[in-house]
Amino acid sequence: MERLEHRACCGGWQDVYRHDSSVLNCTMNFAVYLPPQAAQQKLPVLYWLSGLTCSEQNFITKAGAQRYAAEHGVILVVPDTSPRGDAVADADAYDLGKGAGFYLNATQAPWDRHYRMYDYVVEELPALVEAHFPVTAARAISGHSMGGHGALVIALKNPGRYRSVSAFAPIVAPSRVPWGEKAFTAYLGEDRAAWQAYDASELIGAAQERLPLLIDQGDADEFLDDQLKPQLLQAAADAAVYPLTLRLQRGYDHSYYFIASFIGEHIAHHARALHT
């Protein structure tokens, strides 16, 4: 593991590391924010999953999350959104290939050799973090757009692993929107039954635990009606009696201005669960 960046921030340190991933068969970057309390004690971890076209850099440079992580004593871990490198399969589109891993384990060639972001986020990255940083066993997970989809799916599929989950403008029903249909067809094949394993609106009905779930969605989001459709998750949560807080925020779009406006509330949401 090689440290690429080391910057003082809000009394702590914003670092970026590179390592060889055996799960993804490539070299990966991830960011870690260590708040000032980490110098004296172990702290819980909030994993953040970013959206389409992003890397680990978008969140750490645009969200302003470090000040809230320092306030609440929470370590932030931010992976990249897909495998990277010259040998990694790609597509001539922003919503497929590099930068668009969709946090699943691909089963179709040529994607299956590298695109296993689900296993990377759930198993390999936490094992690395827990071996090298002052963290407790308490974890939470959050994300934006495609990353919100990843956070919801990963939390719902791994009972007992996370204390809380939240999302900004998540793709809640990828099996029923163009972004998800395109990615799932490429990565998982034509069998729509296989897609349900990575669809939060399908998984929530069989959830084995009831995590605190907070979702913020801007009502001026250009992708709201055709790609995000939060009402589909709300209906599934209502049917399953799952405690979902879905907030429609007036005037906000899909950008990091939106995330920066409410990230403090999300970190506070997670801190309440992580420090219990």
Catalytic residue, from 80, 90, 199, 221: name it: 221
Report the C-alpha gap between 121 and 193 in whole angstroms.
23
The whole-chain average pLDDT of the chain stands at 97
Q: Pairing relation of β-strands 12-21 and 2-9? A: antiparallel
CB 7 within 8 A of CB 28: no
- Contact residues for 205 (Cβ-Cβ < 8 A; gap 6+): 236, 239, 240
Would you put residue 260 in left (φ > 0), alpha (ψ -120 to 50) or beta?
A: alpha
| pLDDT band with cut points at 50, 70 and 90 for residue 16 | very high
| Token pair listed for 89 | 């399969």
Convert the pLDDT of each residue in 83-100 to its tens digit: 999 999 999 999 999 999
Q: What is the pLDDT of residues 241-265, one digit of tens each?
A: 999 999 999 999 999 999 999 999 9
Check 72, 114, 149, 254 and give the catalytic one.
254
Number of helices (H) and strands (E), helices first, in the chain? 10, 9
User: Quick one: pLDDT at residue 207?
Assistant: 92
pLDDT at 141 exceeding the cut of 90: yes
CA nearest to 276, candidates 183, 175, 140, 144: 140
Q: How does pLDDT run across 143-197, given as a tens digit for each residue?
A: 999 999 999 999 999 999 999 999 999 999 999 999 999 999 999 999 999 999 9
For residues 266-276, average pLDDT: 96
Task: Give the model confidence (pLDDT) of 26-61 as tens digits.
Answer: 999 999 999 999 999 999 999 999 999 999 999 999
pLDDT (tens digit per residue) in 195-237: 999 999 999 999 999 998 999 999 999 999 999 999 999 999 9
216 is a catalytic site residue: no
Instruction: Give pairs for 247-252: CB < 8 Å, separation 24+.
Output: 247/214, 247/215, 247/216, 247/217, 248/217, 248/218, 248/219, 249/216, 249/217, 249/218, 249/219, 250/219, 250/220, 251/218, 251/219, 251/220, 252/218, 252/219, 252/220, 252/221
Q: 2-275: CATH homologous superfamily?
A: Alpha/Beta hydrolase fold, catalytic domain (3.40.50.1820)
Alpha helix stretches (DSSP H) within the chain: 56-62, 66-72, 117-119, 125-132, 146-157, 178-188, 192-195, 200-203, 230-240, 256-274
Question: Is 191 among the catalytic positions?
Answer: no
Q: What is the pLDDT of residue 212?
A: 85
Please list the residues that pair with 148 across neighbouring strands.
none
Q: How far apart are CA 35 and CA 252, in angstroms?
A: 29
Phi, psi (rounded to 5 degrees) for 125: -65, -45
276 — pLDDT class (breaks 50, 70, 90): confident
Exactly one of 50, 82, 142, 145 is catalytic; name it: 145
Instruction: Find how far residue 126's CA is from the centre of its chain.
Output: 13
For residue 253, indicate whether it is catalytic.
no
Pick the closest to residue 15 from 132, 138, 166, 126 (CA basis). Answer: 132
